[in-house]
Amino acid sequence: TQLLEQSPQFLSIQEGENLTVYCNSSSVFSSLQWYRQEPGEGPVLLVTVVTGGEVKKLKRLTFQFGDARKDSSLHITAAQPGDTGLYLCLRGSNTGKLIFGQGTTLQVKP
């Protein structure tokens, strides 16, 4: 059972455009992590959000955790070719099961 719904699954945009990736769940989660994976490498952590309504910024990336802690979004401003990759959300859990979303493949064309 997929507990995290990520959208869109694929995004192809031109350099300089803005985009938003969404991660949704039907149940509350204690925390959420966003990772980025480049071809041939393992995912790398971008940010962890814990508090409902929390907003974190990482240069041109803005991460938001929904007030009800059932959803999160990643917004990229003025995308660059270096942002190309697979973006993944991961649901925090103390039960031992670590659930990723399906992933969003982002392609930024120069």
DSSP 53-109: T-EEEETTEEEEE-TTSSEEEEEESS--GGG-EEEEEEE--SSS--EE---EEEEEE
When the beta carbons of 96 and 110 are compared against other proteins, the nearer one is 96
Task: Determine, following the binding rule CB under 8 A, whether residue 92 of this chain makes contact with other proteins.
Answer: yes
User: Angle at Cα 61 formed by Cα 98 and Cα 99, nearest 5°?
Assistant: 10
Smallest gap from Cβ 34 to other proteins, in A, equals 11
Interface residue with other proteins, options 22, 34, 35, 63 (CB under 8 A)? 35
The site string for other proteins over 6-25 (x = CB under 8 A, - otherwise) reads x---x---------------
CB 44 within 8 A of CB 36: yes
User: Which residues sit at the interface with other proteins, rule CB under 8 A?
Assistant: 1, 6, 10, 30-31, 33, 35, 40-45, 48, 86, 88, 90, 92-103, 105
